[in-house]
A and B are shown apart, each in its own frame.
Chain A
Amino acid sequence: MGRDGAPAGTTEKKCKNCKYWRPHVFYEGIGVCTYKWPWKMTFEDDSCEHFEPIKIDKPGFYWCATCRTRVTPEDYMYHLAKGHRLYPMPYVEPEVKEELYSVE
């Protein structure tokens, strides 16, 4: 089984499976396409001709969209095995700091 429970090798050509797509750090199903600047908001089930499948096959730091957390090279396999959706990084809005409280 591949990520998100989809059978390995049968990746649908949708944003959520594309290497150019970054899932929103908070809101599910929404993200940005980083294929070209300026980036564009898209939804996980959108698709386009620039699709290239995402490959999560090497140990590394990834963003687990299912758990909404950063995962380490040591535990990324655990998340993959559970069918979680891993990405190289999430999309964090540039203004996020204006929405956060200072906590010390």
Chain B
Amino acid sequence: MVDLVFEIGGPQGGGIESAGQIALRAFMLKGYRVYGTREYHSNIMGKHSYFNIRVREDRALAPNLPADIVVALDAESVFTHYNDVGEFLVYDTGVLSKDIDSIQSMSKYLKARVKEELDANGVPHTVEGVIKLLEKRGKRLVGVPLRSLLKTTAEKAGVSLVSISRAINTIGLAVGMSLIGVEVEKLQKAIELFFAGKQKVIKPNVIAAQVAYDYAKQNFGGIHREVIPDGPHINTDKPRLVVSGNDVVAMGKIAGGLRVQTYYPITPAADESLYLEKFEDFPLTPEAAEKLGLERGGIVVVQTEDEISALNMAIGASLAGARSATSTSGPGLSLMAEALGYAGIIEAPVVITLYMRGGPSTGMPTRNSQSDLFAALFQGHGDLPRIVIASGDHEEAFYDAIKALNWAEKYQTPVIHLLEKAIANAMKDIFNPDLSNVVIDRGKIEKNPPKPFPRFKYTEDGISPRAFLGDTVVWYTSNEHDQFGRRNEDPVERIKMQDKRLKKFETAAKEIPLEDKVTLYGDPDAKITIVGWGAVKGAALDAIDKLKEEGINANYLHIRMFMPFPSDYVKSVLEKAETVIGVEGNALAQAAQVIRMFTGFDIPHLVVKYTGRPIFVAELVESVKHILRTGDKKVVLSLGQ
């Protein structure tokens, strides 16, 4: 089975993004599933960035290392990724003499580690030294004169080639693709797809691809490695999209009937709102137009002055009857704390999509993390339950975005939808979403509200019918209130009102199906259970497959809802296993602590990663084997730059 990793690195802004995007499309045209992880630095321009692309036949859900092919567009990429090389390194022969100390943009800590390794192997601190080291390791080294091929491209294109990065990246990419037999026509088609409508960019890049393929053919016999065959998804009639996690959440929100999105720009959340801004006015399908009596739809997207305003504005929209949401990341959620409490006490339906990045504080804005689980669960003061969900991949994220909007309105509560940067920024192919089962459930709405209106009426299930501002007079106060919303501190009424609010979550816990809360993958009778959440899913599913190949039978318990928590089911699965290993992308093992809080089960073995990088399949497999071998309680992962 084809399970390939293709990595391309270079200076941030230097064409790495388009190279990665083109590569994804080329592999899709070849018939494969793809998953592209982007790593970039928070200085925005010039620092090192790279794209790690996983290519598989059945599913591609997680990054992996080593990479079968590493394409290094500059010297820094060679020094940064030589330990990622599984088989091929494609490098620029023009930087062979480059000394690591002359690269100012490189971290001094990484430099020190690299120099230590080069010294230990008796090679100089240059790109040439690294090449010698990789030769010793038996790697296959493909030197490419990037500048010379760039010149040839410019001559053949016959234009003033000033999009230099976008020709260099294509040359590097094309040489890498040629090594595994992805046809140049597929790469050229991918270029056309990615740069659709930009003929001035397409032409030189298509030529650059051909120049690079011709060079590879003349100098490396065309193909160095076993050619990957056409994949199972070639020429099928099932259309696929390639989307980021941000895109797919935005798509889910649109499908889920979102009407108002507010935000203050923050990494890695902002791209979701920028995507939604494209849909402020769009034509409805004929069916929808007939049903609604409208020709066009639209979502109001507002960039507010800060995060508190973003949530408060979303709350206001919600009270006026619009399905509303906001999106942010950890520092933004910190600022939203007061408004979150307000939404809780006035029972305002609102969705907060929370993208997790490395914290605390500004932390590592462009790096991955699962460290905001506690914040999502416990942000705000007072007895303030909320619904908290976490998606494990792009497909889950799409449908969870819809469900979050439904649950917010049905249970009249803030819903926090957690995603990691590892999903937000990862590009993945998905089949066109199935909308046939999508239901928009707006919960209890009083269409003819009396005056005065008991907005917070005591009910059996704790959920009071809502009326929208403008339909009647409704009092909303952040103070404790009576059934009509009027301020009230009577001790007996306080108990009733607080219990009413809490009762809603008992109702939600009963009504929300188990499959939306937790999923057990693999053999239910396996003696080893890996438990995780969020993007751990991708690495864990691959890990249990790899472990099975080695005779180790493990299953994976994937938690999707943390509040209300599926305590009984989780406890039953964990108690059944002989060995339980918790896997998380944070230092405190926050989910393990939450599991203990809700079930009393203490997870005995932990695998954690808090480098800001995603969990790679290979390191997870090794860590599980290590625990089984040694019985160690904790393994800290650190793979990846």
Contacts and interface: CB of A to CB of B under 8 A. Distances in A.
A, B co-complexed: yes
A92 to B, nearest CB: 8
Given A27-B165, A27-B168, A32-B162, A101 B104 contact: no
Nearest to B14: A26
Contacts of B163: 93, 95
Contacts of A24: 164-165
A67 interface: yes
A28 B15 CA distance: 14
Which range holds the interface residue count of chain B?
A: 35 or more
A101 B18 contact: no
B307 to A, nearest CB: 11
Contacts of A101: 17, 38, 40, 44, 267, 366, 425
B13 A26 contact: yes
Contacts of B73: 27
User: Interface on chain A toward B: helix, strand, loop, or mixed SS?
Assistant: loop
A93 B105 CA distance: 19
Interface string B506-538: 000000000000000000000000000000000
A72 interface: no
Interface in B59-113: 73-74, 94-95, 102, 104-105
A38 interface: yes
A67 B104 contact: yes
A57 interface: no
Interface residues of A, number: 29
Contact of A39 (B95, B162, B265): B162
B166 interface: yes
Nearest to B95: A28
A26 B11 contact: yes
Contact of A27 (B12, B14, B270, B425): B14
Interface in B1-54: 10-18, 38, 40, 42, 44-46
A49 interface: no
Contacts of B74: 26-28
Contact of A99 (B154, B165, B271, B274): B165
B147 A29 contact: yes
Contacts of A69: 46, 104
Contacts of B270: 102, 104
A66 interface: yes
Contacts of B147: 29-30, 43
Interface in A52-68: 66-68
A98 interface: yes
Nearest to B271: A102
Interface in B129-174: 147, 150-151, 154, 160-166, 168
A96 interface: yes
Given A96-B165, A101-B17, 17 more contacts: A25-B46, A26-B13, A26-B14, A27-B73, A32-B162, A32-B164, A38-B162, A40-B160, A41-B160, A93-B162, A98-B18, A100-B13, A100-B17, A100-B44, A101-B38, A101-B267, A101-B425
Interface of B: 10-18, 38, 40, 42, 44-46, 73-74, 94-95, 102, 104-105, 147, 150-151, 154, 160-166, 168, 201, 265-267, 270-271, 274, 365-366, 425
23 contacts: A25-B46, A26-B10, A26-B13, A27-B73, A28-B74, A28-B94, A30-B150, A30-B164, A30-B168, A39-B160, A41-B154, A43-B147, A69-B104, A91-B164, A93-B165, A95-B165, A96-B13, A99-B12, A99-B17, A99-B166, A101-B44, A103-B267, A104-B267
A-B pairs, 3 with minimum CB distance: A26-B11, A26-B14, A67-B104
